[in-house]
Amino acid sequence: MAPAPAYEAAMITAIIETRNDEVPLAHALAALVPAATEGVLRQVIVIDHGSRDGTLRVADVAGCTVIEASMGEGDPRRQAAEMARGDWLLLLSPTEPLPLDWQSGALAFIDRALVAGKAHSRVGTIHRGRISSGWRGWLRSRLTRSDGWLLTKSAYLAAKASSRPSSSVFRASDVRRGAA
């Protein structure tokens, strides 16, 4: 039996932060569907900051895990990273949806990082659907607004741990599983 490609063991969890983003979230989730059907995307976590429109309904119908962020309740991004079932995190804004073929670039990035043995230190910057890393990605993230980031869960949690003390306490009522 042939060994599985490296990315099969390193599926992606998308984390999307929202606030009154009903329509943009629907578009962002639609761009994730092809990756989910291919088995690349394992989970979507939506961090909601008090939406009053149908954002939570869209997330629930799509089967997303929802964290309702509240002031002073810890870092919701860290909570999402800790809950992530994928080895890689895709941090997105709903207002900057990915193109429909984004997963091929993500898989190429993951494969390069794994082959180079730098998966835990490499961060991909997503801009207009393209994923870049190294000095190009760093420069692009400094000069333009990034559409998102792709990095390992362990690297994200390590960076969060070094920047501030852990505050991963959250109430079970703040986390909901969608209808999947």
Q: Which two tokens stand for residue 22?
A: 């009903």
Q: What's residue 132's pLDDT?
A: 60
Cα→Cα distances 176→67, 70, 134, 173, 179, Å: 7, 14, 36, 7, 10
Which domains does the chain carry? 10-163 (3.90.550.10)
Q: Which two tokens stand for residue 7?
A: 């990315």
Q: What's residue 159's pLDDT?
A: 81
Judging by DSSP bridges, how do beta strands 148-152 and 124-127 pair with one another? antiparallel
Q: What's residue 160's pLDDT?
A: 76
Q: What's residue 154's pLDDT?
A: 85
Residue 107 phi/psi, 5-degree rounding, is -65, -40
Mean pLDDT by 10 residues, the chain (180 residues): 47 95 95 91 95 96 93 82 93 84 85 81 67 54 60 83 45 38
d(CA 151, CA 123): 5
Nearest one of 91, 107, 88, 9 to 45, comparing CA atoms: 91
Q: What is the pLDDT of residues 38-80, one digit of tens each?
A: 999 999 999 999 999 999 999 999 999 999 997 557 889 999 9
Q: What's residue 29's pLDDT?
A: 95
